[in-house]
Structure 1
């Protein structure tokens, strides 16, 4: 748990540290690979279940893979897809020229003290690329399963992620910031009636629920009563080739390496980042996609920066949010201390009734075989029909 009461103190042996770079490379098996193999297998099995259970209701499946993610370790068959010597390296930066939050992140992940060699950096990026291909292969297998079960004509496939990875760009690694390589994630949707296209409008995960509600209510039914206001907007009309004048989104960060909330407004080409303890940041992503020129320091953009600052002040109460975060962190630290002895784990345990999987001694093997086969075998009752 981050501790904003002592924000300058680094979390001991934090999971985000230089070990991920030093240990980057190849391995036959890791806990991440083992987990994703199980996710992929379970997802394929569930798709088959939907096809053979006879239930005609629409279904939704979430398959959550870890890859690509640090630590940057990949199986050889994916690693070997890339020429190690051709792996691109990040643009060098002078650490003293970085913004305040980036400096705190570097200190937190021990980049300035433990450090990493050029070979460490190349191997880490190599592993990330390799694991992207590994994930892509699993996505392909799931799509293939949807197709071979005859469900491709009425199934939408959505690809997204919870964060990116700086991979050494701007002198940073991992996530924890509002910069593009950290905060920007894919949102790819494919399916019947959707034409290939790139939609430039800014959006965020806040827009996912309204979009899914529109998809589920495609027959004109009203949305179900949620019981609370939704901050996002539906993107369904954009997905179907429509236009939208809205090209903006917002973000909030209340985690490590800061003592105050960090707020972001993205509108058109401009991104504004605000934290009470830090100088403001303003970038033009059209002319500066790597976010290297802070326009908040440019007199020519002083009015725009001031407008964004006023908007942040009107939209968020930074002090009130900080107090809420501090209260939550203190409660979690107290709970953690209370749970350090012998206790019952609250970790989710997926239910698996192994005694009734496949074909067991207490089952009718013919019935089980027919139930689990897809497509179902249709017996021929009149041999004369085959003449």
Structure 2
């Protein structure tokens, strides 16, 4: 009898360490929101209604000055998912597939997948391309390298057909549409994404996981159920007005191409339609976030799940008469970043951080070894003590086709932007938080210092 029991006991004891390791692995809920700027309730905007983002913020650390490395969807996501800068990924637009540039790069969901986590993505985590080509869509979603499963979503017939909305560009642009739609939340992709995330959390039970929840609003088309438009009655929102004495921006900075032509012809009524629709979509997204957070609580998973909530870049809503991203102003480069979960001290972190810092933060939290050569630093010092200082500077770039390029350095006080045509912008955030007055001519010493910082940064990435 003893001879029979001992081998069985040995097998049980051998399995126990692995069971404990699996139970100790934290879940990671990574929520990326398309085109979301940081004018949210928890960031000081009292007009927009985001009770669920605010609820998450009350549980975690709100990073007040978090900067993306390239303020366009694909380039930004390729950067923070790999922990590498755009000069390192080679992705500086919305048309380049990450694996075409770096076929062997390791993303943070891939790192956890390879170390025993179940990985699943719903909606837009990587930039979505490929059109109706299913095989190409899988490549854009980075299947199967980053995920065991991934799913994109399209609006239902009710959600897709044009109802009360219209094209604000007069047909000149393929985007700039809005619509207050009939039907419910699940007639829209973000409602379906929330439902899929909840179902996956229920299905996985105690299995450790990383789930990517990629909400698509407030990205254009600005379509949401009518009830979210009704949250903002006439007179509840104010248009931003550029000051009359604002310094003109360089030609490459803003207002370029057909976009500038369209935006310059917006009437105040059209500007208000755009603003109204953007915030309605923001509130719609917020409601779907609330459903996911409620499920996390009801399933008893909150105590073992770190929640990371980010926008993929900022967005202009009339600043510099621009209604888009892809500039090097703070409004486009700064994006929301909130991290909540076990071991985190709730609060507000005022120090500068970069989105490349997300990868090493996740790796440290999950006790896995990150790849060598990441561009970022773990944010755990700030997550344990939000008063800890951040970086000395944050670096963002854009390209404008050919060899045209802009590099921008943000410090606690200054933003210096250098363009390939020789134009220089310098803004003093101590007195000009909206970046309306270029003071480069009167602060040549600061220009020189920050120019050198750009040179050092570019040298480190081999550029």
1:146 and 1:194 mapped to 2: Cα distance?
17
Quote the offset at 1:114 in angstroms: 6.9
CA deviation vs aligned residue, 1:315-337 (integer Å, no higher than 9, x gap)? 3269x85xxxxxxxxxxxxxxxx
Choose the corresponding residue for 1:167, options 309, 317, 329. 317
Aligned to 2:451: 309
Change in Cα spacing, 1:182 to 1:80, as seen in structure 2 (3 Å) is: same
Choose the corresponding residue for 1:275, options 414, 419, 428. 419
Aligned to 1:50: 204
Change in Cα spacing, 1:31 to 1:190, as seen in structure 2 (3 Å) is: closer
Aligned to 1:207: 357
Aligned to 2:438: 294
CA deviation vs aligned residue, 1:2-43 (integer Å, no higher than 9, x gap)? 99xxxxxxxxxx9x966655x434223799973222211211
Relative to the length of structure 1, the TM-score reads: 0.68
SS for the counterpart of 1:60 is: strand
Change in Cα spacing, 1:31 to 1:193, as seen in structure 2 (3 Å) is: closer
2:289 and 2:316 mapped to 1: Cα distance?
23
User: Higher strand fraction: Structure 1 or Structure 2?
Assistant: 2
1:259 and 1:235 mapped to 2: Cα distance?
34
- Structure number with greater CO (CA < 8 Å, separation at least 6) is 2
Quote the offset at 1:204 in angstroms: 1.3
Aligned to 1:260: 404
CA deviation vs aligned residue, 1:102-145 (integer Å, no higher than 9, x gap)? 66534331436872111110011011111111111111100111
Whether 2:194 is the aligned partner of 1:40: answer: yes
Quote the offset at 1:67 in angstroms: 0.7
Contact 2:296 2:302 in 1 (8 A): yes
Quote the offset at 1:151 in angstroms: 0.9
Aligned to 2:123: none
Choose the corresponding residue for 1:229, options 373, 377, 380. 373
2:281 and 2:381 mapped to 1: Cα distance?
33
Whether 2:260 is the aligned partner of 1:76: answer: no
Query: Which structure's CA Rg is the greater one?
Result: 1
Contact 2:416 2:450 in 1 (8 A): yes
- List aligned pairs for 1:1-387, cutoff 5 A: 20-21=175-176, 23-28=177-182, 34-51=188-205, 54-55=206-207, 58-92=208-242, 97-101=247-251, 105-111=255-261, 115-217=265-367, 223-224=368-369, 226=371, 228-241=372-385, 243-256=387-400, 259-298=403-442, 301-316=443-458, 321=463
SS for the counterpart of 2:364 is: helix
* Root mean square deviation of aligned Cα: 3.2
2:201 and 2:393 mapped to 1: Cα distance?
34
Change in Cα spacing, 1:67 to 1:242, as seen in structure 2 (3 Å) is: closer
Name the stretch that deviates more: 42-51 or 23-32. Answer: 23-32
2:263 and 2:364 mapped to 1: Cα distance?
50
1:279 and 1:108 mapped to 2: Cα distance?
22
Quote the offset at 1:65 in angstroms: 0.8
1:258 and 1:32 mapped to 2: Cα distance?
42
Change in Cα spacing, 1:163 to 1:17, as seen in structure 2 (3 Å) is: farther
Relative to the length of structure 2, the TM-score reads: 0.58
Quote the offset at 1:147 in angstroms: 0.8
